[in-house]
Every structure is written in C-alpha cells, then in structure tokens.
Amino acid sequence: MDFKKQLKDGLIDNNPVLVQLLGMCSTLAISTTLFNGIGMGVSVTIILICSNIVISLLRKVIPSKIRIAAYIVVIAGFVTIVDLLLQAFLPALSESLGVFIPLIVVNCIILARAESFASKNGVLASAVDGLTQGIGYTIVLVIMCIIREFLGNGTFGGGLLGPEGAGIRILPAEYTTLHIILPFGGFLVLGCLIAAMQYFSRKAAEKKKEALK
C-alpha cells in the first residue's frame, strides 16, 4: 500500500469528479452553499470508507455473478445509517440535501471504487482508497460551493456563518449573478474546473517528460 500514491490519485491523477467525471448529479445539484458541500462531502467519504472495508472483507465470499447487487446492498445499508444520523443530529443539513442523501446509494463514485478497488485489495488499502477518493470529492465540492455561493449570492459560508446561517456578505447583492446558483451555473463552474485540471495535468506531464530527457 502506497498512501502517497493513493492520496495523489484521489486529489489529482484520478480525482473522482474532475478526472473520472463521477458523481455529477450531486456535484451539480447541491454545490450552492458551503454547508451543503461539506455535509455531502463528509457523508460520501464516510460511506466510501465503510463500504470499501466491508466489501474488501467479503470479496472472496461474494459470488461473482451477484457482486454488483451485493455491493449495492452494502452501500444502501451505510447510506441509511448516515441518513438517519443526519435526520437526528443535523436536521437542517438533512433537509437541505434532501433526496440527494438517499441517492448516494447509486452514486457512481462509491460503486466504482467498490468494483475497481475494494473487491481486489486488502482492508487497509481499501479504507485508505475510500478516504483519499472522498477527500478528492469533498475538495472539489467545497471549491464549487465557494465559487457559486460567492458569485451567485455574494456570500461565504452559507449555512454555517453569518446571521441565521445566511453567510458572510462579501459582494453587494446588486453585483451578484443568480444564474451561477442555477443548474447552468453548476455546469459552467464544473466545466472551468475540469479544464483547469486538464491544463495543469498536461503541463506537469510535459515538465516531467522534459526532465527525463
């Protein structure tokens, strides 16, 4: 197990959102406030770690023909636990995220890591994979939330900071653009982030190639 490599994969080389293009539904839908981004990111990370551990433990027991169905059952169990905990202890977050918490069951990030990594590797490596992929997902989600909230509402920290969780006002309301909060804005911000990731990845690869000459 190479923790540094797995961390680099999760954050940069194999980022679930910017490189693998997984989990687009929740990424575009809930990335409007910092509160939503952190809540969804932590929830997905916890489910990733727990489901990876269980699937890794059972990888030699689960029959190949029903492995996808078995993975979904495991993931659904942890999603239910997280959903109930949010309803009990963070009802505001549960209400804000709404149906997108139960929809984590079919989030392609979690199923993809179960199929491509946890089913083929040991428990510790699978747990680290869930952690690093979750961190990569959360960071992208938080960045999108900050950009969209700032440009769309002119605030920072919506749901967490400011009077009644309205966020700290940075831009006057008349200088904001509501379109960034709408689905169009989500696609626009995500597209810019993906383009930036591709640009810097290409530059890094070119520098590495030149260094080897």
Q: Confirm if 16 and 22 have CB atoms less than 8 A apart.
A: yes
* 88/90 Cα distance (integer angstroms): 6
Q: Which tens digits make up the pLDDT trace of 111-149?
A: 999 999 999 999 999 999 999 999 999 999 999 999 999
Whole-number pLDDT of residue 179: 86
Question: Rounded to an integer, what distance in angstroms lies between the CA atom of residue 187 and that of residue 9?
Answer: 24
Distance separating alpha carbons of residues 39 and 44, to the nearest angstrom: 9
What mean pLDDT do residues 76-103 have? 94
Residues facing 169 on adjacent strands: 155
What pLDDT was estimated at residue 117? 94
Two structure tokens written together for 17: 């959102």
Check: CB of residue 201 under 8 Å from CB of residue 12.
yes
Instruction: State the average pLDDT over residues 18-29.
Output: 90
Is a pLDDT exceeding 80 seen at residue 89? Answer: yes
Structure confidence at residue 212 as a pLDDT band (50, 70, 90): confident
Contact 18, 140 (CB under 8 A): yes
pLDDT range class, residue 74, cuts 50, 70, 90: very high
First to last CA, the chain: 30
